[in-house]
Amino acid sequence: MRVPSTLYRGPAVSAKIVTIIPESETRLPSKSRSVIAIYPGSFDPITNGHLDLIQRGSRLFDRLIVSVLSNDTKAPLFSAAERMEMLREVVGVYPNVEVDSFNGLLVDHAAGRSAAVVLRGIRAISDYEYELQMALMNRRLCPQLETVFLLANEAYSFISSRLVKQVFGLGGNISGLVPPSVEKRLQRRMSKAKRKGA
Ligand code: PNS
């Protein structure tokens, strides 16, 4: 079957090939709507790798909500309120970025904030499996929510909050790995812990 020439003016192709998926059946938000993205994480504490992703995400999306998981099972060093405070201290320069927190399912939080996108960073192939699992689980729970991955800037691809805390705790130099305000907070937190232990 040929496509009627009144509808299609390109070279002759079969109707099967030019089938157009109605917009209502695609998952991507329509282009006219402003796109809100959520960047979820533990951020215990925020590193320069996270900050790089926030800066790049703020250019891609109309609004970016950086959301701290507050009921983290990983026994964080900083409380959710402290982690949010540290984030707010450094994202203030981006007018379309805000900080929030959530408990429970990420997909529920995203729906509550009308977000169409979850933003995550991938540093190395070792991140991929964990991220793929989460993205596919989130897609199963909420097919409309898209996960968008950005590759970490190579300058930060080896940084993790866990390693920053470990290196700092053992007296190593972490300048350039976290924002200066975070480094100061880590110093205060560690000396408080030392005083308690003494
Ligand atoms: O920075 P992290 O610790 O790698 O972030 C993990 C996070 C917060 C994105 C993930 O643990 C999460 O989304 N938790 C909420 C619980 C949830 O929705 N689970 C189902 C999907 S995996």
- Give the model's pLDDT for residue 187: 94
Judge whether 111 and 67 are in contact, CB under 8 Å. Answer: no
Q: Is 138 in the pocket of ligand 1 (CB under 6 A)?
A: yes
Dihedral (Cα; 156, 103, 84, 165), 10-degree rounding: -50
Q: Is 40 in the pocket of ligand 1 (CB under 6 A)?
A: yes
Give the number of other CB atoms < 10 A from CB of residue 170.
7
Q: Report the nearest atom of ligand 1 relative to the CA of 161.
A: 1
| Distance of CA 162 from the midpoint of ligand 1 (Å) | 16
- Give the model's pLDDT for residue 23: 58
| Distance of CA 44 from the midpoint of ligand 1 (Å) | 13
Q: What is the pTM of this model?
A: 0.84
Q: Is 49 in the pocket of ligand 1 (CB under 6 A)?
A: no
- Give the model's pLDDT for residue 17: 55
- Give the model's pLDDT for residue 190: 82
State the Cα–Cα distance between residues 48 and 155, nearest whole angstrom: 10
In order along its 198 residues, the chain shows pLDDT tens digits of 444 544 445 555 455 555 666 655 555 555 568 999 999 999 999 999 999 999 999 999 999 999 999 987 779 999 999 999 999 999 999 999 999 999 999 999 999 999 999 999 999 999 999 999 999 999 999 999 999 999 999 999 999 999 999 999 999 999 999 999 999 999 999 887 777 766
- Give the model's pLDDT for residue 5: 46
Judge whether 127 and 41 are in contact, CB under 8 Å. Answer: no
State the Cα–Cα distance between residues 160 and 46, nearest whole angstrom: 9
Residues facing residue 98 across a β-bridge: 65
| Distance of CA 109 from the midpoint of ligand 1 (Å) | 11
Active site residues: 50, 74, 123, 161
Judge whether 84 and 101 are in contact, CB under 8 Å. Answer: yes
